[in-house]
Amino acid sequence: MFFYQHRLKEKGLMQGMSRKGNRLDNAAMESFFGTLKPECFYTRKYASAAELEEALHEYIRYCNHDGIKLKLKGLSPVQYRIQSLKSA
């Protein structure tokens, strides 16, 4: 663990951690990364950081605009927000 924290510090990064006793702080992000990894990282290798960044942008765009969710009545998050705003 020390090596990981040392590398983060070298790169000027800060480790994100939940508050003590509150494991749900990062639940939304854990869910996102749990889906992202098998769909983007386990199936492909990236030649450069720029290629990885482009793939991440495309994945996030897809999730927000095209990816339908049963919890959102079969709509994408953007479609659901638009519908909610129209009915408000």
CB 15 within 8 A of CB 5: yes
In the prediction, which pLDDT does 43 show? 86
Number of H helices, E strands in the chain: 4, 0
CB burial string 49-76: b at 16+ within 10 A, e below: eeeeeeeeeebeeebeeebeeeebeebb
State pLDDT tens for residues 40-80. Answer: 888 889 999 999 999 999 999 999 999 988 999 999 999 99
Average pLDDT, the chain: 87
